Amino acid sequence: MKVLVTGGSGYIGSHTIIELLNAGHDVIAIDNLSNSAKESLARAELITGKNIEFHEADVRDKDALDAIFNAHTIDAVIHFAGLKAVGESVARALYYYQNNLESTLTLLERMKQFDIKKLIFSSSATVYGDPDTLPIVESAPRRATNPYGQTKLMIEQILEDISASHEGWNITSLRYFNPIGAHESGTMGEDPNGIPNNLLPFISKVAAGKLDTLSVFGNDYPTSDGTGERDYIHVVDLARAHVAALDALNHPNEYKAYNIGTGKPVSVLQVIEAFKTASGVDIPYKMVDRRPGDVAAYYADPSLAQQELNWTATHTIEDACASTWKWQSSNPNGYDVIGEV
């Protein structure tokens, strides 16, 4: 297939492009580079030995989409483009609603215009909010608790309604849990702007001496060691889930959604210990109060994806820590390269 990947130079998008190319698909990437680096695609080309056509543009730009769709016969779209920081979404709610909803609606409009009806959407486990039971199944109530999660929930509703319109759309949403890790080569990984929002990039910055200490928010949860437990999914496993979903994208007028996780909760302290083992570096941390809105544990039941997509996570938390440290130690400044501005 010829696949358009929006947000293609981002953390998950770039890793997914590698797996798409390895599976024999042709890829066109579009990204406005607001929170990513074009260098990630250059490295994906080196890893795969294949070319990636890249368009630096915003998905809200109808002319840019028209130019791509006019120049190519696109078979399917994987839609990653969007703002994704929970904390920022609370502080800049309107910005998040405008960007994430408008970009998706523009994309869907142009896809319909060019009769492209196959779409995989990058959703999130945040659509479940504070779950009633664990592990979380796809039929659990959806009730996001922050603007970022609400945009994912709203978009899912739009996609579900479009699927029910009997216009022949094939749409699948993948609800990610906690993506971590890096490509095994150590040349690609997560490269957030500023201070990382997520646990593993923060730990790796502490290990590299770029940050002084890690704050662990709460040690009095009803979990195995008192710290919060999450379902950490390796980015390569997550990328392969998109290829599996693409292969199974033959269910016209039926909306599908899948949890993409391991089903295994891992605590903050367990992640710290795994990273210490992988890096050989001590990780100084301090216990602080719980953060408002955090829950004790959050993990998936991934059995539906295993059954219907023939996909399962194969990487461990140790694999994720080892690949993250290889990426961090080999690329202390992320994707910054000499000569680039």
Report, as residue numbers or ranges, the catalytic residues: 148
Instruction: Give yes or no for a contact between 90 and 293, defined as CB atoms under 8 angstroms apart.
Output: no
Q: How many angstroms separate the CA atoms of 45 and 23, rounded?
A: 14
* 100, β-bridge pairs: none
Instruction: Give yes or no for a contact between 313 and 231, defined as CB atoms under 8 angstroms apart.
Output: no
Q: How many angstroms separate the CA atoms of 60 and 100, rounded?
A: 9
Of 224, 222, 109, 115, whose CA–CA distance to 167 is shortest? 115
Q: Which two tokens stand for residue 236?
A: 């390569």
Question: Residue 148 burial (CB < 10 Å; 0-12/13-18/19+)?
Answer: buried
DSSP 21-54: HHTT-EEEEEE--SSS-THHHHHHHHHHT---EE
Q: How many angstroms separate the CA atoms of 51 and 28, rounded?
A: 9
Looking at residue 291, the DSSP 8-state letter turns out to be P
Q: Which two tokens stand for residue 27?
A: 């890829």
Residue 107 to residues 6, 27, 82, 256, Cα–Cα distance (Å): 9, 17, 12, 19
Instruction: Give yes or no for a contact between 125 and 261, defined as CB atoms under 8 angstroms apart.
Output: yes
Residue 98 to residues 87, 104, 172, Cα–Cα distance (Å): 16, 10, 23
* 6, β-bridge pairs: 30, 79
